[in-house]
Structure 1
Amino acid sequence: MLLDPYYTQQESSIKISAEQASFFAKKECQDFNPIHDPDSKRFCVPGDLLFALALKEYGVSESMNFTFTNMVGDSVALNFPKTDSDHIIVTNDQGKSVLEIKKSGKSSDDIELIESLIKKYVVFSGQNFPTLLMPLMKENNVMFNPARPLVMYNSMNFEFDTLSLNNPVHVELAESTLEVEAKRANEFLHFDIYDGEKVIGRGVKTVVVGGLKPYDHDSITAFAENYLANRNAF
């Protein structure tokens, strides 16, 4: 399966090494956020990988909400509970919540639907920087600190009109906004989910941008150019 290279099953828990997490971010999401680099002092597992593992474990429901409650470090044991509940809490080896899932409506374990949603959504999600976030920061005259970038996944939710599809899904941006609050901002990426040419779902990804400072075109452009150079080199 798509996710097999990116985690290790150990008895009743799942572990994700820094190398596995970083490779998932780069290969599947085209996401080169430094916080996912194995040698980063603030390393954390990408939220998109936790989201993907949740879909693998629990399937796709017509309505799902994912809230990322704590960062996951290198090779931390994670418990994805075996449950039929509509409110699921994924915990770390200390029993702390790292991901909370709420779901409702009909559900599907169709592997084609699950893998196509994972593939298309994480690529959409990974394009946030620089494609989506840069214009929003410029428009609002703010930016993160290039020396200590802090761009963190907060939550995501989606709703399907139907889970019966004729084609693999694809995901497209509908609208993006940035709400600035002193030294941080909340970015909202609204997206549509398509079956062929027909919209059959919609959702929103919420990102926290921390350590805001006044927008400086030269420094943020240099950061973006280095980011894209790393992506192209990969």
Structure 2
Amino acid sequence: MLEKYYRPHGHQVSFSRDQASQFAKHVANDFNPIHDPESKRFCVPGDLLFAVCLKKYGLSQHMSFTFSGMVGSDVGLVFPETDAAKIDIADENGKQYLHFERDGETTLDGSRIEKLVYQYVQFSGHNFPHILVPLMAQQGVMINPGRPLVIYQGMEIRLDTLDFTTPELSLADSTLDAQGKRGKVRLEFNIEADGATIGSGSKHMVLSGLRPYDEAKLQELIDAYAERRRTMGTS
């Protein structure tokens, strides 16, 4: 599934604008304009970096990812050959974009990894409007409808077992801590498989350009996003 969304060059990986955009829209169902090929602020989806990391290094029971930079198109990222517990993903000039840590048992089972990746990015890509809008309404704030900016800060995953066949993710809790024009969002999720809870995790985001809540303006943004999904998506 993943091979068509990145280009390998030895120990390096890069992403074209079309590859990153196709992954966002057709795998993650994420229609954030920042992932459009023609966007001046274009960046590769963080979930695509997460997916490539798991394909390269396997799935461990405990993993945490911290994003430190936005990856542009055709940037060559170095994925070092290592079995270390802490790994930095940087470009050939040493600029770091991602740090992740892992421990516990690890599986390299491609089918199992792909199923978990698909479930996570599907969950992750549905943040707006399903989860973020109720949180913003509750806190009386909203993102700038003219320049909506939601920054993917990091995520972590904790698995009790790697022996699963059909994992599913469900939202367990969500919080928004609004401080001035910035807000920190934390989404907690459970991982279930074969009728039992086998793990949990969390996703962290930052909202920028917060302003007082305006239901009419926010509804316009929701409608515009829904129209993008209708015209650009396949699901």
Whether TM exceeds 0.5 here: the answer is yes
Separation in 2, partners of 1:37, 1:172 = 27
Per the alignment, residue 205 of structure 1 pairs with 203
Q: Post-superposition shift, 1:67?
A: 0.4
Residue type at the aligned position of 2:99: E
Matched, 1:50 2:49: yes
1:11 is matched with: 10
Residue in 2 that maps onto 1:90: 89
TM-aligned CA deviation for residue 12 of structure 1? 2.7
State the one-letter code of the partner of 2:102. Answer: K
Structure 2: gaps spanning 5 or more residues: none
- Structure 2 residue identity aligned to 1:60: L
Q: 2:181 aligns with which of 179, 183, 199?
A: 183
Of 64-73 and 2-11, the range deviating more from structure 2: 2-11
Alpha-carbon distance, 1:5 to partner: 1.0
**Mapped contact 1:116–1:170 kept (Cα < 8 A):** no
Superposed counterparts of 1:13-32, under 5 Å: 13-32=12-31
CA RMSD of aligned residues (A): 0.9
The match for 1:195 is: 193
Deviation at 1:130, TM superposition (A): 0.6
Kept in 2, the 8 Å contact 1:112–1:168? The answer is no
Q: Secondary structure of the equivalent of 1:188? A: strand
After TM superposition, the score normalised by the length of structure 2 is 0.97
CA distance in 2, matches of 1:41, 1:108: 38
Moved over 6 A (4+): none
> C-alpha separation between the residues in 1 aligned to 2:226 and 2:95?
35
- Partner-residue secondary structure (3-state), 2:131: helix
Q: CA deviation at 1:196?
A: 2.0
Name the count of aligned residue pairs: 232
Instruction: Measure, in 2, the Cα distance between the counterparts of 1:60 and 1:168.
Output: 15
Question: Are 1:146 and 1:219, in contact at CA under 8 Å, matched by a contact in 2?
Answer: yes
- How much has 1:212 moved relative to structure 2? 0.6
Distance 2:92 2:20 in 1: 18
- Distance in structure 1 (CA, Å) of the matches to 2:208 and 2:179: 10
Identify the residue that residue 226 of structure 1 maps to in structure 2: 224
Q: Percent same amino acid among aligned pairs?
A: 45
Contact 1:65 / 1:102 at 8 angstroms: preserved in 2? yes
Report the secondary structure of 1:70's partner residue: coil
1:155 is paired with a residue whose SS is strand
Contact in 1 for aligned 2:11/2:81 (Cα 8 Å): no
Hey, what's the Cα distance between the residues in 1 that align with 2:110 and 2:170? 21
Gap runs ≥5 in structure 1:
none
Question: Letter of the aligned partner of 2:17 in structure 1?
Answer: A
